[in-house]
Amino acid sequence: MLLNNISITIKAMIDIAFVWILAYAVLKNLKNNVKMVFLLKGIIILLIVKIISDYFDLKTTGVILEYILTWGVLALIIIFQPEIRNGLEQLGKKQIITRHRSLTLDEREKVVYEIMNSIDYMRKAKIGGLIVIEREVSLSDYIEKSKTLDADISSELLISIFFPRNPLHDGGVIIQGNKIMSAGTVFPISLNGKINKKLGTRHRAALGISEESDCIAIVVSEETGKISIAIEGVLNYNLSIDDARMILVEELKPKKELLLDEGQEDEREDDNYEKE
């Protein structure tokens, strides 16, 4: 009897854990998808109205809402089929070991050095560019549809790709680990209505791909030479070269290294406290 109760409790705990993991994954993927956020808000409003109509016994409103909730699920699947497909594809693209995480400290420093050298040159010369760095979510679909390079990263190569009149300068570049994997890549344009209308296609593409994946998208404006970085659907606009370098260094750190840094800081604080 006791073993049976323990088994039931364990099963219930596993069941709840799976539900929480599923809810977390859904919410994490929803937060940067503008369409799905609006959809979620609409569903919440309908549920609130349904609760109010049931409480006050509003029969006509209740019947209408019953029909909406009954057939609405099928309608939503049809209407938002691309978003649902993209979400499932994104889950399938998750990589257990990412290429940038396998880089040594020296290799990461070289990647940052070469990228920032090219960015510094392009901003001074007002050469437009879009550099996307892959992280956990694979960008292989975009690589396959663009010009594959698979070349060692160098500032000279990056500058030459975005140099005016180069056939590939209009698209973006994808970096995997310490390799320039593709050039001339076309990325989805963000549909976020809050974007400044003065921002061009490169900025919207950087924001669009950062909404679909966890990549780092670096933009250099052709008109102003200003540097921007898009991460998780947020565009950090008009950054200084030092701020851009700092963001890149921090974002490319593996999670284990970030935890180690925080632990080292805590140890230093403890040591200082003991000295005092």
Q: 222: which residues sit within 8 A by CB, 6+ positions away?
A: 126, 127, 128, 200, 202
pLDDT over 70, % of the chain: 78
**Is residue 211 helix, strand or coil?**
helix
| 3 state DSSP class of 218 | strand
| The amino acid at 68 | I
Q: Is the pLDDT of residue 102 over 70?
A: no
Mean pLDDT computed over 4-11:
84
Provide the whole-model pTM. 0.66
Whether residue 252 is predicted with pLDDT greater than 50 in this model: the reply is yes
Determine which of 38-52, 131-145, 220-234, 241-255 has the lowest per-residue pLDDT on average: 38-52
Residue 132: half-sphere exposure toward Cβ, Cα within 13 Å: 34
**One-letter identity of residue 123:** R
Contact 28, 206 (CB under 8 A): no
Report whether pLDDT(159) > 90.
Answer: yes
Q: What secondary structure letter does DSSP report for 248?
A: H
Domain ranges of the chain: 2-92, 105-256
Q: Find, among 186, 198, 185, the residue nearest to 235 by Cα.
A: 198
Residue 261's pLDDT is what?
56
CATH number of 105-256: 3.40.1700.10
The β-bridge partners of 148 are 182
Helices (H), 93-240: 105-125, 140-144, 155-162, 201-212
Residues found in the chain: 276
- Does 172 or 85 have the greater pLDDT score? 172
d(CA 170, CA 13) in angstroms, rounded, equals: 52
In the chain, % helix, strand, coil (3-state, to 5) comes to 60, 15, 25
Tell me the pLDDT tens digit for each residue of 134-151: 998 888 889 989 999 999
Are 130 and 205 a contacting pair, CB within 8 Å? yes
